Structure 1
C-alpha cells in the first residue's frame, strides 16, 4: 500500500487562510455589482432626455435634475431631492424593468438616484 504524503501544518494553514481570503474578496465584489440597463429621465434644466447606462449600485447625482424618469434597469431605483441621496430626501421608489416616476404635477425635481 502506498503511503499518503503528509502536508506540513504551515501549508495547511496557508491554504485555509488563502481560501478564506478568496471567499471574502469574492463576496465583496458581489456587493459592488452594477445594474444592467438604462435609467432614462427628462432633464429639469433643459427639458431634454438623458440616460444613465449600467449604473453601479449606490447613489448617483442626476445631471440637470430629473422632472420624470423611467427605470429600465434590473434593479430598483429611488429618486431623491438631494444629489447625495440622504434618506430625508427620498421622493419615490421606481420599480425595476419599466417603472416610472413623474415629478411634474408636484413641481418636484430629483437631484440624485440610488440604485439597489
Structure 2
C-alpha cells in the first residue's frame, strides 16, 4: 500500500514539471524524501498512463537525460515527439541541452 501512496505523490509532483522542461527519476525521489528510490519512481512513471488527472511522464528521464523509458509510450517515437513538441531538443534518444532544461523540484517553486 505504501508504494501506491508513493506513486500518487510521484504523480502529483510530476504534474508540476513545466512544459518544455524535464527532470529525472532521482530528482523526484529526492524531492519526496526517498533518496535512492529512482527505480520506484520509474515504476510509477510506467503506470502513469492510468493516472487521473494525466501525468506528463514524457518529461521524466534518467539522470543522463536519456529517453530510457520510451518503450512505455507504445510507439518508439512518441516520447521524443511529445518532448520536441514542447521545444526540447533530442538527438540519439538524449536531450541535447539537458542541464539547461532540467527542472529540479527541490529548487523550483512548485506551489
Of structures 1 and 2, the one scoring higher in RCO (CA 8 A, sep 6+) is 2
Structure with the greater alpha carbon radius of gyration: 1
TM-score between both structures, scaled by the size of structure 1? 0.28
Could you say which structure has the higher strand fraction?
Answer: 1
**Normalised by the size of structure 2, how large is the TM-score?**
0.28
